[in-house]
């Protein structure tokens, strides 16, 4: 329910005279965890609050129990978009209850509960994850910010929105380079030109089943298995997607490879498994909830410091100091 309440105003000058609305987010929904766990870029989170440019406005969110206060969005359409984006209607309690049956997630989810898989804009999500390849988060956000500043349309208050495919297609290679895209610049440019000239309709992957949608994205320059799965999951809502990045790869190898069940053995007969193998394992094991499983594993793996960098000359056999309860 979107309940606009123009009577409530903050004294803060920056947000004064802005409308305030409330979104209902049933437990265990966790706003900040959802926005800061790495599936979306650019959200500034602090405490129970998060802020970012959304729909051309500076939007501020704050969660209090099962309510999310929205400041900065004035119209219903934008609020509905935000509501959809945040996936506040995903049945998280049910999803987590199901995943809790897994012997590994049983110990992971208590630490990561409340994450929802977002429904981002496909174009922005696609470009963001192309840029994420072999890159680090601060620099990814730096690049995205520069792209918006330089090529984005001007929204309210002079804020820059994420640039359209047309705008990026028209950008010179040199101008793109100035946004510190590095060697990814040609990829972004090529994809922008393709989308801008109608060579790829970004609605299509959303209408196609997972495998077919995946093939469409893999055909794009700069889009490999991992990036394709990220976009399928974070923008198109394809729950079967299980993006395998270095963190998830490590987590799965460590937490499931040592397992004893026949199903796991079938997939894990070696030491280091290929990303494809891990993906297939996850899809069979978690089905439509693979994406949720991935995000919990990813967040959990990243939340704790890498285990002792006991990097000795002979590639120290990684002793896994896992706690007894995780068996």
Report CA torsion sign: 47, 48, 54, 59: negative
| Interaction mask 210-249, DNA, x per CB under 7 A | ----------xxxxxxxxx-x------------x-xxx--
Residues that bind DNA (rule: CB under 7 A) add up to a total of 35
> How far apart are CB 229 and DNA at their closest, in Å?
8
Across-strand partners of 44?
Answer: 51
**Structure tokens, 1:** 């329910």
Across-strand partners of 69?
Answer: 22, 62
Q: Which is nearer to DNA, 49 or 143 (CB)?
A: 143
> How far apart are CB 190 and DNA at their closest, in Å?
9
Q: Which is nearer to DNA, 22 or 142 (CB)?
A: 142
Rule CB under 7 A: say whether 316 interacts with DNA.
Answer: no
Q: Which is nearer to DNA, 74 or 280 (CB)?
A: 280
Counting DSSP H helices and E strands in the chain, the numbers are 16, 6
Rounded CA-CA distance 132/127 in Å is 9
Rule CB under 7 A: say whether 57 interacts with DNA.
Answer: no
> How far apart are CB 210 and DNA at their closest, in Å?
16
Map the footprint of DNA across residues 96-155, applying CB under 7 A.
132-139, 142
Q: Which is nearer to DNA, 179 or 289 (CB)?
A: 179
Q: What helix, strand, coil percent values describe the chain, rounded to 5?
A: 50, 10, 40
Residue 47 DSSP SS3: coil
Q: Which is nearer to DNA, 26 or 221 (CB)?
A: 221
| Interaction mask 154-183, DNA, x per CB under 7 A | -----------------------x--xxxx
Map the footprint of DNA across residues 261-290, applying CB under 7 A.
274, 276
Residue 314: C-alpha distances to residues 145, 307, 311, 317, 318 (Å): 43, 17, 8, 8, 11
Rounded CA-CA distance 324/327 in Å is 6
Q: Which is nearer to DNA, 183 or 327 (CB)?
A: 183
Residue 102: C-alpha distances to residues 94, 114, 239, 286 (Å): 14, 17, 17, 9
Binding residues vs DNA (CB under 7 A) = 38-39, 132-139, 142, 177, 180-184, 187, 220-228, 230, 243, 245-247, 274, 276, 298
């Amino acid at each position: 329910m979107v309940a606009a309440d123009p009577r409530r105003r903050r004294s803060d000058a920056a947000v004064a005279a802005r409308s305030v609305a409330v979104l209902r987010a049933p437990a265990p929904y966790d706003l900040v965890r959802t926005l800061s766990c790495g599936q979306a870029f650019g959200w500034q989170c602090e405490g129970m609050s998060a802020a970012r440019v959304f729909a051309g406005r500076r939007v501020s969110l704050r969660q209090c129990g099962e309510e999310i206060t929205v400041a900065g969005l004035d119209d219903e359409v934008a609020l509905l978009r935000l509501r959809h984006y945040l996936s506040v209607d995903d049945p998280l309690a049910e999803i987590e209850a199901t995943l809790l049956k897994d012997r590994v997630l049983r110990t992971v989810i208590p630490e990561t509960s409340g994450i929802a898989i977002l429904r981002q804009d496909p174009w922005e999500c696609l470009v963001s994850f192309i840029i994420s390849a072999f890159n680090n988060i601060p620099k990814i956000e730096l690049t995205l910010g520069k792209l918006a500043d330089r090529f984005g349309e001007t929204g309210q208050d002079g804020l820059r929105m994420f640039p359209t495919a047309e705008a990026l297609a028209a950008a010179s290679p040199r101008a793109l380079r100035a946004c510190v895209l590095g060697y990814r610049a040609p990829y972004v440019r090529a994809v922008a030109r393709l989308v801008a000239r109608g060579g790829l309709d970004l609605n299509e992957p959303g209408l196609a089943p997972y495998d077919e949608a995946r093939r469409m994205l893999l055909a794009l320059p700069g889009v490999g298995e991992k990036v394709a799965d990220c976009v399928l999951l974070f923008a198109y809502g394809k729950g079967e997607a299980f993006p395998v990045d270095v963190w998830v790869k490590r987590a799965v190898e460590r937490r499931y490879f040592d397992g004893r069940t026949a199903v796991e053995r079938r997939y894990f007969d070696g030491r280091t498994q290929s990303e494809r193998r891990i993906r297939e394992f996850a899809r069979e094991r978690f089905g439509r909830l693979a994406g949720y499983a991935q995000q919990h594993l990813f967040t959990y793996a990243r939340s704790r410091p890498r285990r002792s960098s006991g990097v000795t000359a002979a590639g120290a056999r990684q002793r896994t100091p896992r706690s007894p309860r995780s068996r």
